[in-house]
Amino acid sequence: MLLPGLLLCGIPKDTIAAEDELNCLLCHKHRGLSRVEKDGDFRLFYINEELFADSPHSRNECKDCHSDIDRIPHDPSKGVDCTRECHMLEPSGKQKFSHKFMAEELAKSVHGRLKPDGTPKPNQEDYPGCKDCHDEPLFRPLSFYKGEEIAGVSQRGITRCKSCHKTGDFAESFYKHVTSRLHKTRSPKEMIRVCAKCHEDRELNKRHELDDTIHSYKETFHYKLIALGSETTPDCIDCHVVVGENPHLIESKETKTSSVFKKNVPTTCRASECHEKAGANLAGFQTHVTYSREKYPLQFYMLIFFKSLLAVVMYFFLTYVFLELMRRLFPDFSFNRQEWAMAKARRKIHI
């Protein structure tokens, strides 16, 4: 959490990135730069220049995000506010760029900290901020060449741009800007891990009266195929975001515009390349089955039936096999003393 945050303020490489205007790297280039906080957290303040230069924020100056730092050496810095306006002009509207819109969408979603009437929801600390999901590794640029996955920006790709855009680093930064958003750099497995960070937490689920949706999702064919390497079955956001909507706007299943609101589920399932030909009844399929007796009685009793059947059949026959093998060791013995004596006598004759 912290490291990625810090990376944002690091110092970029020579011409590509912004200048180290406050000479931050003088200290932050040292790998061991760290501190143990009063609460016991270990914090690393090292900035990996190379990683930073490859990040989406490589053209920002440190103080663009860490605005509270105005002298060196500085006091402990406050957190970074991602909704700040930054130095860049947004090309389509010629306004200063900001992540504010995303934050607003997030606030409207089920993950927002306020209720629709403006009052704060309980357990404020459980609601995610930008950096809770946007861990830096998720933004690793990847390139693909002849079926190989290569970390970093595709140099072969940039070559095409550079044949016309020859001056400066325009081609490189523009290419990076566009492709990092076009590529689905997050594999479904990574996506599930992001959501599981919070939704797998038992205590959190209890506080918010949520089912263990990660576990129940992992019971579906959707997940099982992903685990076995498929990328064609849906991860969390494929179903929980309305097609074409902003992925920050994940809504509760009780919200009428939500992709998982009862009436909208058929549309969500029938998204292109998913269950296109499915009937509306597909919405009746229960995806997050927890096998609780109250919520999923059919599944609960079916499970009891099949597990009991399995136990009865297997224990019966395994007992049978065990006893049969044991019986071979003592073929003559019988609780019937007469039979036992006869068997022993028979054996003497044979010997």
Partner 1 sequence: MRKYEKIVIRGAKKYFFRFSSHQRIQHAILFSCVILLALTGFPLRHADEAWAKPLYDIMGGTTVAPTIHRFAGTVLLILFVYHTIYWITLFYKNRVLPLILEDRLDPWTFVKAVFSMEMMPNLKDLRDFIHQWKYLLYFTNTQPQYDRMSWKEKFDYFAPYWGVPILGPAGALLWWRDEVTHILPGIVLNAAYIMHTDEALLAVLFLFFVHWYNVHYAPEKFPAGTVWMTGYLTEDEMIHEHYGEYLQVMKEEGYEAEIKPQH
Judged by beta carbon, residue 101 or residue 285, the one nearer partner 1 is 285
Q: How far is CA 129 from the centre of its chain?
A: 15
Pick the binder of partner 1 from 19, 306, 315, 345 (CB under 8 A): 306
Pick the binder of partner 1 from 330, 337, 349, 351 (CB under 8 A): 330
Judged by beta carbon, residue 206 or residue 328, the one nearer partner 1 is 328
By rule CB under 8 A, what string of x and - marks binding of each residue 168-207 to partner 1? Answer: ----------------------------------------
Is residue 279 a contact residue for partner 1 (CB under 8 A)?
Answer: yes
332 vs 339: CA distance, rounded Å: 8
49 vs 27: CA distance, rounded Å: 13
Pick the binder of partner 1 from 13, 121, 207, 224 (CB under 8 A): 224
Select the span of 32-40, 55-63, 134-142, 335-343 touching partner 1 (CB under 8 A): 335-343
Judged by beta carbon, residue 138 or residue 343, the one nearer partner 1 is 343
DSSP sequence for 67-125: TT--SSS-PPPPPP-TTSEEEEEETTTTEEEESHHHHHHHHHSTT-SB-TTSPBPS-GG
**End-to-end CA gap in the chain:** 81
179 vs 153: CA distance, rounded Å: 9
Q: Which letter does DSSP use for residue 128 in this model?
A: -
Shortest distance, CB of residue 81 to partner 1, whole angstroms? 39
Shortest distance, CB of residue 223 to partner 1, whole angstroms? 7
Handedness of CA 256, 258, 262, 267 (dihedral sign): positive
> How many C-alpha atoms does 323 have within 13 Å on its Cβ side?
6
Pick the binder of partner 1 from 298, 337, 348, 349 (CB under 8 A): 298
Backbone angles phi, psi at 189, to 5 degrees: -60, -40
Pick the binder of partner 1 from 74, 275, 293, 295 (CB under 8 A): 275
Is residue 145 a contact residue for partner 1 (CB under 8 A)?
Answer: no
80 vs 87: CA distance, rounded Å: 15
Is residue 303 a contact residue for partner 1 (CB under 8 A)?
Answer: yes
Which residues contact partner 1 by CB under 8 A? Answer: 218, 221, 223-225, 227-230, 232, 275-286, 289, 298-299, 302-303, 306-307, 309-310, 313-314, 317-318, 320-321, 323-325, 327-328, 330-336, 339-340, 343
